[in-house]
Amino acid sequence: MFSTLKKRLPQNDPVLSMPSEKKRWTDLAVFGGQPAFPEKLHVGRPNIGNRSRVLERIDGVLSRRWLSNNGPLVQELEQRIAEFIGVKYCVATCNGTIGLEIAIRALGLSGEVIVPSFTFVATAHALEWLNITPVFCDVDRRTHNIDPRQVEHLITPRTTGIVGVHLWGRPCEVEELAGIAERHNLALLFDAAHAFGCSHHGRMVGNFGDLEVFSFHATKFFNSFEGGAIVTENGALAARARAMRDFGFDPQDDVSGIGTNGKMTEVCAAMGLTGLESLDEFIAANYSNYKQYHAELADLPGIRFPSYEGGEKSNYQYIVLEIDEAVTQIPRDQMLEVLHAENVLARRYFHPGCHRMEPYRPRFPDAGLRLPVTEMLAERVLVLPTGTAVAADEVSVVCEIIRLLVAHGAEIRGRLADRAARAPPALR
């Protein structure tokens, strides 16, 4: 899945070709040069489908005066998503986090639940919010996903479930996790926030475990401004989730149990329905950027590049590099500093790992021993901008900055260190 990139750069001093100028490492913006980009290049710039279609749909929402509470657009979106994934039930929610909380409660989880630490903190918070202890499991070195070989060691009499996260849209080892869940009579759910439109062994993500939860946040491959969905084949679970989303009201208008307000609005559904019509365009843009990043960074020593599984559907939403400082001579965080100065707002998702965040940190004084892969990845991963808002020539410039960084890693690191040492004490 990953390829280690070993080929050496040419020994001559490379120059960075910007659209309008050539730049040496000494001209980097971090040392006072002009930034490569006049405006910030973000990770997670939203994909927006046909604007006039969104506005038309929103106009209809206003005319109908039906703004929320299971309106016609939400119902249509649920139906379209269920068809797209190939599942029986889809319950749209106001965001992925509330979707996770509802799903966890609908499954009746309690006590301890096993979850990776290398994920967005919402995965862990959804459990903690419900007074369930997230028990952090290490991830697989190659896939960045929860390592099924470690899961069984973490099961105790208090364990009620496993949450897998399809990180970067690459599916977990679902069969292995399902086997463990079955052997130990545990619930299995997937945080599929990154994996809308992805497949595993030819089946769409959304079909695995007891249920799966998507996020349709603005930064996701497919967005509904804010939003999410629980998908499942289990009718009883779907009915419970549907009631919980609406304060516990059942179809007879009786409150059948505890609930919250997790409803998706009609305006969000309007955006979602319109985005669904442009999925191919979003994938094409991401795929093209992914291929280009791969081709342009493919010779760099000390950089590992995740490849998406051939033959499977993917949304190619995350461009993830692993920086091996021992080879690049410049740590990931200094690379980030240089990129940010150039207005490339790369991200270090998911640093430092949930186990090093509050309220979890005090429970993991020995994290280095228990979560070595998570600890290593949290120090190495760098996520680059992509999506429909990022053009091919911009990808080229980002790649050139990274090539320059790797070619002159030690020099840039040294100069940054000198500068820090000379800074007045308050700035250090």
Residues at the site binding ligand T4K, with contacts judged by CB under 6 A: 42-46, 95-97, 119-120, 122-123, 165, 191, 193-194, 215, 217-219, 228, 345, 349
Closest by CA to 195, choosing from 260, 145, 129, is 145
Q: Could you tell me the two tokens for 214?
A: 């998507």
DSSP for residue 59:
H
Q: CB-wise, 193 or 297, nearer to ligand T4K?
A: 193
Please, which residue, 228 or 302, has the CB nearer to ligand T4K?
228
Name which of 95 and 145 has its Cβ closer to ligand T4K. Answer: 95
Residue with tokens 């516990």: 248
Q: Is residue 415 packed enough to be buried (19+ CB in 10 Å), middle (13-18) or exposed (0-12)?
A: middle
**Per residue in 327-352, is it b (16+ CB within 10 Å) or e — as a string?**
bbbbbbebbbebbebbebbbbbbbbe
Minimum Å distance from CB 62 to ligand T4K?
A: 22
Q: How far is the CB of 150 from ligand T4K (least distance, A)?
A: 19
For ligand T4K, which is the closer residue by CB, 151 or 320? 320
Minimum CB separation of residue 227 from ligand T4K in Å reads: 7
| Separation CA 250–CA 199 (nearest Å) | 33
Q: In the complex, what is the shortest distance from the CB of residue 193 to ligand T4K, in angstroms, rounded to a whole number?
A: 3
Q: How far from 103 is each of 21, 315, 367, CA to CA, in Å?
A: 53, 24, 28
Q: Where is 296: in which H helix or E strand?
A: helix 279-297
* Nearer of residues 126 and 416 to ligand T4K, judged by Cβ: 126
Spatial neighbors of 84 by CB under 8 A, at least 6 apart, are 204, 276
Instruction: Give 42's DSSP letter.
Output: E
CB closer to ligand T4K, 300 vs 398? 398
Phi/psi of residue 93, each to 5°? -130, 170
C-beta separation of 388 from 48 below 8 A: yes
Instruction: Find the shortest distance in angstroms from Cβ 316 to ligand T4K.
Output: 16
Nearest residue to the partner ligand T4K, using Cβ:
96
Q: How many residues does the chain have?
A: 428
At 92, list the tokens: 């749209």
For residue 7, the minimal CB distance to ligand T4K (Å) is 32
To the nearest whole angstrom, how small is the minimum distance from the Cβ of residue 15 to ligand T4K? 29
CB of 409 to ligand T4K, least distance (A): 25
Nearer to ligand T4K (CB atom), residue 97 or residue 328: 97
- Give the C-alpha distances (Å, rounded to integers) separating 54 from 146, 208, 269: 37, 31, 10
Q: Are strands 112-116 and 159-165 parallel, antiparallel or unpaired?
A: parallel
For the bound state, the minimum distance from the C-beta of residue 127 to ligand T4K, rounded and expressed in Å, comes to 12
Pick 218 or 376: Cβ nearer ligand T4K? 218
Which residue number, 16 or 137, has a Cβ lying nearer to ligand T4K?
Answer: 137
Tokens 């994934």 sit on residue: 85
Measured between alpha carbons, how far is 232 from 213 in angstroms, rounded to an integer?
9
CA distance 15 to 239: 60
